[in-house]
Structure 1
Amino acid sequence: MVEQFVGTWKMVSSENFDDYMKAIGVGFAIRQVGNRTKPNLILSVDDNGVICMKSQSTFKTTEIKFTLNKPFDETTADDRKTTTVVTLENGKLVQKQTWDGKETNIEREIADGKLIAKCIMGDVVAVRTYVKEV
């Protein structure tokens, strides 16, 4: 299941993130901060199967708790109010956020020991790469 994702992941690279933030409607000032921030991603699962995903940085820390396949309300780091559902598809954790008639997906997968997060809005794709802290 999601065990391979559990742990603390440190961001090592981020490609095309500014274009992604523009595509989802993030303003200039927040994008400037977002482009400079290299958050840690901390993933854990409790005994009831509830997944906790925390994005931690000097700028902002956000945390969501969810059960796979169950929609929930999320307030994103850029303050969008979304209806979000996270599914496990072909070994990828797929986070689908919908708001104001828009939709974005964040696909996380483990490849070569790294966590690769693809942020997809329409034809804009940002790729953020994390390595596991030991």
Structure 2
Amino acid sequence: MEAFFGSWKFVKSENFTEYLIALGMAHETIKVWNSLKPTLNFSKEGVDVVLKMEANDHTREISFKLDQEFDETIGDGKNAKSVVYLEGDKLVHIQKWDDKQSTVIREVNGKQMVTTLEAEDIVAVCTYERA
């Protein structure tokens, strides 16, 4: 888990629009998300892990304990039940709402963090570099 702590700047994404469509996001939400070049900040506050995404005037923050389900608001204000756990060196984040599910797998490779996003049969990849 320690490898994730710190700041990560967005570098590039592949297939991200298709992933957002698979999630059922509205067209306007997709436009906004595609325009963002976020910085992700992972930190620890007591026993909680905090993930903060900052881009332009958009900020999103979640706080969680590994392996414990928590409520999360995603995308177009949808309420999801989420859980984050470690699988080896990978940080796996599963979100479930309505009849949908998204799996976000983050892995640190040196100075890069590769994030694989999966929904339905769609796979997107976002790459970040340590800030």
User: Does TM, scored on the shorter chain, surpass 0.5?
Assistant: yes
Query: What CA RMSD, in Å, does the superposition of the two structures yield over aligned residues?
Result: 1.1
Query: Deviation at 1:112?
Result: 3.5
Stretches of structure 2 that go unaligned for 5 or more consecutive residues are none
Cα deviation 1:23-76 (Å, max 9, x = unaligned): 000111111111111110000012x32100001111421100000000000012
Partner of 1:44: 43
Question: Taking structure 1 as reference, are residues 54 and 5 closer, same or farther at Cα in structure 2, changes over 3 Å only?
Answer: same
Match of 1:83 among 81, 84, 92: 81
Partner of 1:33: 32
Measure, in 1, the Cα distance between the counterparts of 2:37 and 2:124.
14
Task: Decide whether the 8 Å contact of 1:60 with 1:77 is kept in 2.
Answer: no
Asked whether 1:119 is paired with 2:128, we answer: no
SS at match of 2:28: helix
Measure, in 2, the Cα distance between the counterparts of 1:33 and 1:20.
14
Matched residue count? 131
Which structure 1 residue ranges, 4+ long, deviate > 3 Å from structure 2?
none
Query: Deviation at 1:77?
Result: 4.2
SS at match of 1:64: strand
Asked whether 1:61 is paired with 2:59, we answer: yes
Q: Which one has a larger percent strand, Structure 1 or Structure 2?
A: 2
Amino acid at match of 2:36: T
**Identity of paired residues, percent?**
37
Partner of 2:15: 16
SS at match of 1:69: coil
Measure, in 2, the Cα distance between the counterparts of 1:114 and 1:61.
22
- TM-score when normalising by structure 1: 0.93
Stretches of structure 1 that go unaligned for 5 or more consecutive residues are none
Bigger CA drift: 101-110 or 75-84?
75-84
Task: Decide whether the 8 Å contact of 2:29 with 2:75 is kept in 1.
Answer: no
